[in-house]
């Protein structure tokens, strides 16, 4: 693959993109593998000046980007998909190195990333306006009226660590595809993964010159982007506390926030319990529970509670925990020590308050394992806050109504699901669930990249998915020709 490795060592070296120009700095941060602590990549430590420079480059290039033919931008995205697919193994390995994602799941993320970009290229064909009948009202008159969609100009994209490739694609592909320029600030936990994807965009023969810049860092770089008047959209995926800061600092511009959650499911007594248990183990522990729609709360009808708890414990014990580089590993370590300590202390306090460990609970070779907790009450942290770790809570409920009330009684509202064979209950649930997306007879952790995706309440503002992101990254211009 492209020369990403430092000549003296095996450490990959991310570089800044000031538009199409690569730059480096003597001040660099080292990224260590969360699995074995080895240094896997380095990135320039950018500051407010670097960020402002990138923003001005993006602003200067925005006219050229807006004027670029749509056909060129479609070819651009298709070219990135082709080269990403060719480089799949290198991308997957870098994901496993930087965030300790098990290699099998890293490959899935690369495939999803390619699909997201491909879907965006397909969706660009539908990025158009429509005519408006201005004589529909007695006060109106016949005109030639329509609306068209225009790029917003500059988009600032800020991304999290848990899907550091696909979530970058969900922002930069539609933003660039719509004819904008972009400044990307990826997660500090996976700078190289983001750099490698950005390089595919920048080096493409179809690239719009200077349309994409990438700066590295944390809050200083992020808040410089957010406070600047240059970007017209801030597209953020990350935690609720940072989302709140962004909302308070952004001023008058579009802000799209994809934030946290504590996803829930209800297991009805009519459900296929074996299927539900197998899927719940996957949804709770996939990516070590570090998924915004990770299954965190399971409400189970009291008549099947004991049986379901046993089935879930059995499924959980089958999951292989260990090295992210082994083909059959299901779950690796959490992203950092702080997260591991938080998981341990939340489980310990739940135990003190009367909850029981049904599976897991004790570390395996320094890795916090898949953990099932029973007899969890509403006020315990493991159920009412976003846990973002491999911990799932079981709660017995007398009926559907109690389950849905408990699900909705949360400050978050990202995705909920239900396992049932009762059609009427399914219909009620679709209406009753106070969240951005519902899933019937599977886990709330299900996301198809083609769908609209986002939350209500503290889980965010706006929707992602190529079609909806394209709407977010364009502005409607209304035209009347009299």
Residue identified by tokens 């969890």 is: 376
Cα distance between residue 190 and residue 31, in whole Å: 8
Which DSSP letter does residue 125 get?
Answer: G
* Binding of residue 460 to ligand NAD (CB under 6 A): yes
Handedness of CA 280, 282, 288, 291 (dihedral sign): negative
Residues 6+ apart with CB under 8 A from 62: 151, 153, 154, 180, 181
Dihedral of the alpha carbons of 124, 129, 130, 131, in degrees to the nearest 10: -150
Cβ-based nearer residue to ligand NAD, 161 or 330: 161
* Binding of residue 226 to ligand NAD (CB under 6 A): yes
Cβ-based nearer residue to ligand NAD, 179 or 462: 462
Cβ-contact 258, 292 below 8 angstroms: yes
Stretch that binds ligand NAD, among 120-128, 241-249, 307-315, 326-334 (CB under 6 A): 241-249
Stretch that binds ligand NAD, among 15-23, 130-138, 201-209, 220-228 (CB under 6 A): 220-228
Stretch that binds ligand NAD, among 87-95, 160-168, 271-279, 396-404 (CB under 6 A): 160-168
Q: How far is the CB of 35 from ligand NAD (least distance, A)?
A: 18
Report CA 332 to chain centroid distance, whole Å: 19
What are 351's two structure tokens? 């135990």
x/- track of binding to ligand NAD for residues 161-200 (CB under 6 A): xx----x-----------------x-xx------------
Q: Which of 191, 231, 238, 283 binds ligand NAD (CB under 6 A)?
A: 238
Q: How far is the CB of 352 from ligand NAD (least distance, A)?
A: 25
What are 75's two structure tokens? 């070819």
Closest CA relative to residue 387, chosen from 349, 433, 332, 434? 349
Cα distance between residue 160 and residue 97, in whole Å: 16
Cα distance between residue 298 and residue 277, in whole Å: 10
Q: How far is the CB of 442 from ligand NAD (least distance, A)?
A: 18
x/- track of binding to ligand NAD for residues 247-266 (CB under 6 A): -----------xxxx-----
Residue with the closest Cβ to ligand NAD? 222
Handedness of CA 204, 210, 212, 218 (dihedral sign): positive
Q: How far is the CB of 16 from ligand NAD (least distance, A)?
A: 15
* Binding of residue 289 to ligand NAD (CB under 6 A): no
Cβ-based nearer residue to ligand NAD, 222 or 231: 222
Stretch that binds ligand NAD, among 86-94, 139-147, 232-240, 320-328 (CB under 6 A): 232-240
Cα distance between residue 465 and residue 171, in whole Å: 9
Q: Which of 20, 90, 104, 239 binds ligand NAD (CB under 6 A)?
A: 239
Cβ-contact 284, 295 below 8 angstroms: yes
* Binding of residue 224 to ligand NAD (CB under 6 A): no
* Binding of residue 268 to ligand NAD (CB under 6 A): no
* Binding of residue 159 to ligand NAD (CB under 6 A): yes
Which DSSP letter does residue 267 get?
Answer: E
* Binding of residue 230 to ligand NAD (CB under 6 A): no
Q: In what order do the strands lie in the sheet with 415-419?
A: 356-359, 371-374, 391-397, 295-301, 263-267, 415-419, 437-440
* Binding of residue 292 to ligand NAD (CB under 6 A): yes
Cα-based angle 410, 283, 237 (whole degrees, multiple of 5)? 60
Which residue of the set 258, 315, 464, 471 is catalytic?
258
Cα-based angle 91, 157, 385 (whole degrees, multiple of 5)? 90
x/- track of binding to ligand NAD for residues 366-395 (CB under 6 A): --------------------x-x-------
Residue 327: active-site member: no
Residue identified by tokens 């995926």 is: 237
Cβ-based nearer residue to ligand NAD, 250 or 374: 250
Catalytic residues, by residue number, are 258
Q: Which parts of this chain interact with ligand NAD (CB under 6 A)?
A: 158-162, 167, 185, 187-188, 218-219, 222-223, 226, 237-239, 242, 245-246, 258-261, 292, 386, 388, 414, 455, 460
């Amino acid at each position: 693959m492209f020369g990403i490795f430092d000549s003296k060592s095996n450490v990959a070296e991310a570089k800044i993109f000031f538009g199409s120009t690569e730059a480096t700095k003597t001040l660099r941060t080292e990224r260590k593998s969360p699995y074995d602590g080895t240094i896997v990549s380095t990135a320039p430590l950018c500051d407010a000046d670097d960020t402002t420079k990138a923003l001005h480059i993006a602003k200067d290039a925005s006219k050229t980007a807006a004027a670029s033919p749509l056909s060129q931008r479609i070819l651009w995205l298709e070219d990135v998909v082709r080269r990403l697919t060719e480089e799949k193994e290198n991308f997957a390995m870098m994901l496993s190195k930087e965030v300790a994602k098990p290699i099998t799941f890293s490959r899935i993320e690369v495939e999803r990333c390619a699909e997201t970009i491909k879907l965006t290229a397909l969706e660009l064909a539908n990025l158009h306006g429509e005519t408006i009948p201005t004589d529909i009202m007695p006060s109106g008159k016949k005109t030639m009226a329509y609306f068209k969609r225009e790029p917003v100009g500059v988009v600032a994209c800020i991304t999290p660590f848990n899907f550091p490739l696909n979530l970058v694609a969900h922002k930069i592909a539609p933003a660039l595809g719509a004819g904008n320029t972009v400044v990307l600030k990826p997660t500090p936990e996976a700078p190289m993964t983001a750099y490698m994807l950005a390089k595919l965009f920048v080096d493409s023969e179809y690239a719009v010159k200077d349309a994409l810049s990438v700066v590295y860092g944390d809050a200083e770089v992020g808040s410089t982007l957010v406070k600047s008047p240059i970007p017209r959209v801030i597209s953020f995926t990350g935690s609720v506390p940072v989302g709140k800061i962004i909302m308070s600092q952004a001023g008058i511009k579009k802000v799209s926030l994809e934030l946290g959650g504590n996803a829930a499911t209800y297991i009805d007594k009519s459900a296929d319990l074996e299927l539900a248990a197998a899927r719940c183990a996957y949804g709770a522990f996939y990516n070590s529970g570090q998924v915004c729609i990770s299954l965190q709360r399971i409400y189970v009808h009291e008549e099947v509670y004991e049986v379901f708890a046993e089935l879930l414990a059995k499924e959980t014990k089958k999951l292989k925990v260990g090295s992210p580089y082994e083909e059959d590993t299901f779950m690796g370590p959490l992203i950092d020590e702080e997260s591991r300590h938080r998981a341990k202390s939340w489980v310990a306090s739940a135990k003190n308050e009367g909850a029981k460990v049904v599976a897991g609970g004790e570390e395996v070779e320094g890795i916090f394992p898949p953990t099932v907790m029973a007899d969890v009450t509403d006020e315990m942290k493991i159920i009412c806050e976003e846990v973002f770790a491999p911990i799932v809570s079981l709660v017995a409920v007398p009926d559907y109504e109690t389950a849905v009330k408990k699900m909705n009684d949360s400050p978050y509202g990202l995705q909920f699901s239900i396992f049932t064979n009762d059609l009427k209950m399914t219909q009620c649930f679709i209406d009753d669930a106070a969240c951005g997306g519902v899933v019937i007879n599977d886990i709330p952790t299900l996301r198809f990249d083609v769908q609209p995706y986002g939350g209500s309440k503290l889980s965010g503002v706006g929707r992602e998915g190529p079609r909806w992101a394209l709407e977010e990254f364009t502005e409607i211009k209304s035209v009347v020709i009299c």
